[in-house]
Homo-oligomer: A and B are copies of this chain.
Amino acid sequence: MKLVAVGTVAFDSIETPFAKQEKVIGGAATYITLTASHFVDSSGLVSVVGEDFPTDFLADMKNRGINQEGLEIKMGEKSFYWSGKYHFDMNTRDTLVTDLNVLATFDPKVPASYTNAPVLLLGNLVPAVQSSVLDQFPTRPAFVVMDTMNFWMDVAWDDLMAVIKRVDVLSINDEEARQMSKEHSLVKAAKKILAMGPKYLIIKKGEHGALLFHENQVFFAPALPLEDVVDPTGAGDTFAGGFAGYLAKTQNYSFENMKRAIIVGSAMASFTCEKFGPQRLLEINQDDINARIAQFVSLVNFDIELV
């Protein structure tokens, strides 16, 4: 097993200025593992769903090498449900409904068969729960990536500070970075957050791309300019899944290789935006991914002599 992802498997109802879909398959761990399945043959899912979650979708995931020994199915209960509405810019959204359901009592159990995976992704969960997942690995995985959100900065600051000290990469969005650091400048924000513990910081800016910070180095990858963004839900998790999946495949955690992983993550995220839910992740193949990465090369690479 190359990669373990802990996080939500859920339903989303999504409204954009152009369309609306009810109860689409969603959840961070869904996007992460489906994306990573394009890079690693075997990954492990740690999550919880209710009995309402479609077994055929779980079978599709299993066929993509996503082990479900760590997935708890709670009979008589409902899966986590989120509903949101995107603004006209498709880059910001309002949450309409959050029904925790099975997530309210989620106590993730990492199966013994998962504990040798070199790469661990801790999805956005209660920080103390993220710590408990790390505690279940007899040996810390070689590379740990975690996500969080502003809510935990408000209600669980100390637990959040405890867990970010234990990870390699913290991945958050620009507003979360500003809230966490109390700095508007992302450069200043990154310095403060790196001083809080993580070795690397990824700041996601949605349609404006992503920044990777490490010590005094910084790398930037744009989002691919798309003709149509149908649904950006899951793009950030897809980015994380592509980033971690590429690192799990190559097992090279240098800054240079992380740049490549950021580009891979950005390329994968661009697919997710093309349809509602994780649909595109089930359709694309290696040729599609390579063609998309080639688009990134021509989008940003230049060759300059000093002037």
Known: A187-B227, A188-B227. Is A304-B222 also a contact (CB below 8 A)? Answer: no
Q: Are A260 and B304 in contact (CB under 8 A)?
A: yes
Q: Which residue of B lies closest to A300 (CB)?
A: B300
A301 at the interface (CB under 8 A from B): yes
- Is the CB–CB distance between B260 and A226 below 8 Å? no
Q: How far is the CA of A103 from the CA of B293 in the complex (A)?
A: 48
Q: Tell me which residues across on chain B come within 8 A of A218, comparing CB atoms.
A: 225, 299
CB neighbours (8 Å) of A89 from chain B are 184
- Interface-forming stretch among A27-35, A106-114, A205-213? A205-213
Q: Which of B220, B229, B260, B299 interacts with A299 by CB under 8 Å?
A: B220
Q: A184-B88, A185-B226, A211-B225 are in contact. Are A219 and B302 (CB under 8 A)?
A: yes
- Is A246 close to B, CB under 8 A? yes
CA distance A290 to B304 in the complex (A): 10
Q: Which of B184, B219, B225, B304 contacts A220 (CB 8 A)?
A: B225
| Bound CA span A262–B303, Å | 12
Q: Which chain B residues border A227 with CB–CB below 8 Å?
A: 185, 187-188
Residues of B within 8 A of A105 (CB): none
Asked if residues A302 and B217 are in contact (CB atoms below 8 Å), the reply is: no
Give the contacting residue for A185; candidates B220, B222, B229, B256; CB below 8 A. B229
This chain's copy number in the assembly: 2
Chain A 83-97, CB-CB to B under 8 Å as 1, else 0, gives: 000001110000000
Which residues between 251 and 307 of chain A lie within 8 Å of chain B, taking CB atoms? 256, 259-260, 262-264, 286, 289-290, 293-294, 297-304, 306-307
In the assembled complex, 29 residue pairs joining A and B whose CB atoms fall closer than 8 Å, in A order, are A88-B184, A90-B184, A185-B226, A185-B227, A186-B225, A187-B226, A208-B208, A208-B209, A211-B225, A217-B298, A218-B225, A218-B299, A219-B299, A220-B222, A220-B299, A221-B300, A259-B302, A260-B302, A260-B303, A260-B304, A262-B302, A263-B304, A264-B304, A286-B307, A289-B307, A290-B306, A293-B304, A293-B307, A300-B300
9 closest cross-chain pairs (CB), A and B: A290-B306, A259-B302, A208-B208, A187-B227, A260-B304, A220-B222, A187-B225, A300-B300, A220-B299
A contact residues vs B (CB 8 Å cutoff): 39, 88-90, 184-188, 205, 208-209, 211, 217-222, 225-229, 246, 249, 256, 259-260, 262-264, 286, 289-290, 293-294, 297-304, 306-307
